[in-house]
Amino acid sequence: MKKNWKSPCYALFFFFEFQFFCGYLGFMWLVLQGTVMMVEWQFFSLCSKDWSVPIIIDHVSILFSCFVCLISSSVSLFSVSYMEGEVFMRRFMLLIMAFVGSMNLLIFVPSLITILLGWDGLGIVSFALVIYYQNKKSLAAGMLTVLANRIGDALLILGICFLVNWGEWRIGYGMTGSFSLVICFLVVIGAMTKSAQIPFSAWLPAAMAAPTPVSALVHSSTLVTAGVYLVIRFYSTLVETQEVLWFLSKIGALTLLMAGLSACFETDLKKIIALSTLSQLGLMMFTVGVGFPIIAVFHLFTHALFKALLFLCAGSIIHSTLDTQDGRILGSLNYLLPFSSSCLVLSSVALCGMPFLSGFYSKDLILEGTFSGFSGVLEVFVMLMGAGLSLVYSLRIVLMGVFGQNYGSTLLVYGVESGYMVVSILVLSIGAIMGGWLLQSVWVSVNGFSLVGVSGKMIIMVVTFLGLLYSLVNFFLVKSLKKKSFGKLGRFLSSMWFMNLVSGSFLAGIGLKWGKLMHLHLDMGWMEILGGQGVFKVLEDGISLSYLTQKGSLLVYTRIFLILLVVFLGGILLM
């Protein structure tokens, strides 16, 4: 512990200073005044073209950067205790700082061509963090993560190629033309890969192979939210192509439903939380698709607070129980780990949308917007079902881990939460309780967005608390319900609708297999024979013939003369 506390504390100090700078100067100047500023740094000019890096400073980027730094500082403090046995602690914290730096670069840069710096940085550093434990499971998860992210990189590069028609790479400008629909589709699908929407959902639960502090950072405010943030920044262009928004809303609704149903059948504690993240990402994409990007940003901020708290509480439980994360073994944590389990209940309740906690304000606004907007009946039904499922899988976390029966080992294997864990969890607990209220009171643009009638409010209230019926099912009907209603259907729902086969096996299995076959039969096969090796063989034969004609032998000269004479006479006769 003594030699491992310095690097996290240095990172904590750096994140706190940056957060204070953004929170004081930017918050007081930009949020309260509502102004937007763009700073453009031109670093050289070539062939009448200025090469510059624009930086946008507005209320969204300032607040998002403050939230990222707040969560990163809590994660750094939490890592002091969680990673106490880590030998290469400095390397781990440097990776965390590179990860946060890439995210901040993505947040403040509005140009699509320079946003790739932060976008690719997130993909590369996330691969290094996922494979941090260096075993087979981590390597498989890291390969799946990086391959899925590379698809998004390729699509964004294709979008940049089409943007050459405008000569402008800044997002936020309206683009009308022959390629606008193609560009918007490329950007949206690229964002879907980073935010793990259907059919690119397999890598998100697999990324749980990373250390828990990394999971708290990845699943709350950095990697998975990059795609949502890109779509929100690009919204002024997407709104001109309603087909793309229609497609985005359908994909977001399907992801919300798929992840919520899968989380209801999962037993791994970290995987349930990962699937809840996937469900909330689908909710954000759906909100942007139906035309409420500001509410999506609001939910993005509140979700970052309680989801980071949920992961840190789960990490504290896993660390204190000697790496036990199976919900069927955990139980009675309210007696063994009272602080972590109480904060776990708090974050789960905030995730449900309990009134006057952080999740309530944004979730209620989204449900109101869905009712008052022009959404279809099926979308409204899927939305209400997904909102109800959030309470179901949150209750599963609480009932299995905190209030369930313990089937684990003796009390000797349980540790005690350290002061570093308690402080980091306490900071995020305050944010989970008061964050939504503070954001809504300061951020005026999310107040009074839409009003629904009494019937709509009653439906929202019923859906919010409908998941309480799960407690009855859990205590009285779970065995009979599983026997009668589930079976093959339960296997289908618990497997994320076989998304592992659709995207995971396709990318990591079929994709790599076909790549190897193409390497053997194309790069080392006929392409090599007709390409590099073939050209080399022809040149070699030509040089050998040239040497032969210049040997200086009279017999060789006579043969060459006769051959040229025959060719010359043949040409004359043909003419």
pLDDT at residue 511 is higher than 80: no
pLDDT at residue 174 is higher than 60: no
How far apart (Å, rounded) are the C-alpha atoms in residues 517 and 93? Answer: 39
pLDDT at residue 316 is higher than 70: yes
Strand partners, 38: 56
280 vs 466 pLDDT, higher one: 280
pLDDT tens profile 192-202 = 888 888 888 88
pLDDT tens profile 161-172 = 887 776 666 665
Q: What is the separation of C-alpha 73 from the centre of its chain, rounded to a whole number of angstroms? A: 20
- Strand, helix or coil at 264? coil
How far apart (Å, rounded) are the C-alpha atoms in residues 71 and 304? Answer: 8
Q: What mean pLDDT comes out for the span 519-548?
A: 71
- Find all residues with CB under 8 Å of 442, minimum gap 6, and list them: 31, 32
Q: What angle do CA 49, 55, 22 make, to 5 degrees?
A: 165
What tokens does 284 get?
């954000």
pLDDT tens profile 51-101 = 777 888 877 888 888 888 888 888 888 888 887 777 788 888 888 888 888
Q: What is the separation of C-alpha 550 from the centre of its chain, rounded to a whole number of angstroms? A: 67
Query: Within 10 Å of residue 358's Cβ, how many Cβ atoms?
Result: 30
- Find all residues with CB under 8 Å of 413, minimum gap 6, and list them: 321, 322
Question: Model pTM?
Answer: 0.80
What are the sequence ranges of the domains in the chain?
6-494, 495-528, 531-574
How far apart (Å, rounded) are the C-alpha atoms in residues 404 and 352? Answer: 19
pLDDT tens profile 425-484 = 888 888 888 887 887 776 655 555 555 556 666 666 666 666 566 555 555 554 444 444
> What's the confidence (pLDDT) of residue 53?
79
Query: The dihedral of CA 188, 493, 287, 127: what is its sign?
Result: negative
Phi and psi (nearest 5°) for 39? -110, 130
Least confident of 22-26, 128-132, 231-235, 361-365: 22-26
pLDDT at residue 543 is higher than 70: yes
Average pLDDT, the chain: 77
Q: How many CA atoms lie within 13 A of 1 on its CB side?
A: 8
In which band, very low, low, confident or very high, does the pLDDT at 1 lie, cut at 50, 70 and 90?
very low
How far apart (Å, rounded) are the C-alpha atoms in residues 215 and 145? Answer: 13
418 vs 527 pLDDT, higher one: 418
pLDDT tens profile 369-389 = 777 766 677 777 887 887 778
How far apart (Å, rounded) are the C-alpha atoms in residues 2 and 382? Answer: 52
How far apart (Å, rounded) are the C-alpha atoms in residues 117 and 113? Answer: 8
